[in-house]
Amino acid sequence: MAKEKKQVEQITARDVDFAQWYTDVVKKAELIDYSGVKGMFILRPYAYALWENIQKVLDGMFKKLGHENVSMPLLIPESLLQKEKDHVEGFAPEVAWVTHGGNEPLPERLCIRPTSETLFCEHWGHVVHSWRDLPKLYNQWCSVLRWEKTTRPFLRHREFLWQEGHTLHATAEEAVAETERMLEVYADCCENYLAMPVIRGVKTEKEKFAGAEKTYTIECMMHDKKALQSGTSHYFGDGFARAFDITFSDKNNRQQYPHQTSWGFSTRTIGGIIMTHGDDSGLVLPPRIAPVQVIIIPIAQHKPGVAEAAEALRARLLQADIRVKLDLSEQSPGWKFAEYEMKGVPLRLEIGPKDLEQGQCVLVRRDDGQKTAISLDGLEETVSSLLDQIQQSMFDRAKENVDENTFIAHTVKEVREIIETKGGFVKTMWCGDLACELRMKEEAGVSSRCIPFAQEHLGDICPCCGKPAQKMVYWGVAY
């Protein structure tokens, strides 16, 4: 038992050192390994299985809305990247360049894609001619490269996996509606699958995506009360179309510029899952995206009938479309309990000789540790119901964290005091001026997270300058 206890103690407590706790969980739950290049991490099978489940959810949502998957090249010619001025300036510090092919210098530098707007624009210039060619609803699953100076597993990789949606529309109204629709898809995924409540809103001019007219965002709060931007959706207007000379003939045979969107969701959300739900024993995974929903651990498996009964239960749960694993290894039950707690498996099923005699098994919830003996009759329905309860309970607990740590302030001093003593989100009114946004960053140490769709009237003046306020804003310290 000493060894089993030590395994859990190796995780630093969240409230002692949250950053170290996070690193401990990422490594000990076997999610990440470090490669030979700084900031380029290896996603181990368990992490990749998590991403596959998220990918499956989102891909299904996209296709229901009519989006098609495509694949764009990895490399972008420098001349192509330069066509949209604001876009290239926004990404210039993070771009990695290919300068040689084999031993020969290339005639033009090639950028390793940090994002693919320019590639889609080049393609659309070839294939879009008439209103009948619109809309184009595309998505691609790929990796991108951004040469970040400071890196951290999941939260900030130089190379990371994501999806990037790109769409082209005949009118501004259609494009704006698409941008807002896709933000709601991300919110649906976060809230109903990842059990992460979100704040929906619009980024300020300062925080919007390079080249966009408007950026929509969902913001989540982590256990340590910091913010995580978890998905963004961008409306570009016709700026890219003009830069790349993309036109189409409308129904009146007049030449028009189409309107463009893009939207992205990445593996950084795995970091969000860890920091929203994890505890001092490791991961706590939402059942709907957990690679293993139920772990079966036989007790005294060497005794007659125990292993066979455990295998029969595994087969039954598999048949019911429940992701289940049976551990028949020679490790002790106590070691297995700690191992699968570390990996955040939502339900543990224990079965031993006494349970067989009574026609029952024991179910243990990962989220709250509740242990229940249940009949083997109707096992599938009981497990499915418990998984739904765990999913909802995890969301409710995360929502409570957001609600209890969201505050109202009327002065910059109040914002600073709240952040220094409590953390969390702070809501204030705002005049809309960049100078006041910069002052809030300098004096209170926060950035604007979003101008929420759900506006509240908290007063009439800006806390920074005292001028008439235009909008209510969420502020916070972000990852």
Whether 11-277 shares its CATH topology with 406-476 is answered no
Name the nearest CA neighbour of 61 among 218, 192, 155, 214. Answer: 192
Are 221 and 401 spatial neighbours (Cβ–Cβ below 8 Å)? yes
Q: Which residues of 22-46 are buried (b: 16+ CB within 10 A; e: fewer)?
A: bbbbbbbbebbeeeeeebebebeeb
d(CA 116, CA 51): 21
Cβ burial, residue 262 (10 Å; 0-12/13-18/19+): buried
Is beta strand 360-365 parallel, antiparallel or unpaired with respect to 347-351? Answer: antiparallel
Q: Amino acid identity of 243?
A: A
Q: Which residues of 116-133 are buried (b: 16+ CB within 10 A; e: fewer)?
A: bbbbbbbbbeeebeebee
What is the CATH class of 294-390?
A: alpha beta
In this structure, what token pair is assigned to residue 71? 């694949």
In this structure, what token pair is assigned to residue 459? 């007063």
CA count, 13 A, side-chain hemisphere, 130: 4
Please give the C-alpha separations between residue 291 and each of 90, 221, 285, in angstroms, as whole numbers: 37, 24, 9
Tokens 């804003």, residue located: 473
Is beta strand 41-43 parallel, antiparallel or unpaired with respect to 32-34? Answer: antiparallel
Pick the CATH number of 11-277 from 3.40.50.720, 3.30.930.10, 3.40.50.10170, 3.30.565.10: 3.30.930.10
Q: Enumerate residues 6+ apart whose C-beta is below 8 A from 137.
A: 65, 66, 67, 68, 165, 167, 178
Q: Amino acid identity of 204?
A: T
Are 217 and 450 spatial neighbours (Cβ–Cβ below 8 Å)? yes
Are 410 and 463 spatial neighbours (Cβ–Cβ below 8 Å)? yes
pLDDT, residue 10, reads 80
pLDDT, residue 83, reads 87
d(CA 236, CA 213): 5
Name the nearest CA neighbour of 121 among 179, 81, 172. Answer: 81
pLDDT, residue 92, reads 83
What 3-state DSSP class applies to 354?
A: helix
DSSP single-letter state for residue 422: T
Record the pTM.
Answer: 0.94
For the chain, the domains span 11-277, 294-390, 406-476
pLDDT digits (tens, 9 = 90+) for 149-182: 999 999 999 999 999 999 999 999 999 999 999 9
Are 317 and 294 spatial neighbours (Cβ–Cβ below 8 Å)? yes
Domain 406-476: assigned CATH number: 3.30.110.30
pLDDT, residue 88, reads 75
In this structure, what token pair is assigned to residue 234? 């961008």
What 3-state DSSP class applies to 101?
A: strand
The Cβ of residue 16 has, within 10 Å, a number of other Cβ atoms equal to 9
In this structure, what token pair is assigned to residue 54? 């998220």
In 405-433, alpha helices (H)? 412-421
Cβ burial, residue 175 (10 Å; 0-12/13-18/19+): buried
Length of the chain: 479
Spans of the chain below 70 pLDDT: 1-9
Are 38 and 158 spatial neighbours (Cβ–Cβ below 8 Å)? yes
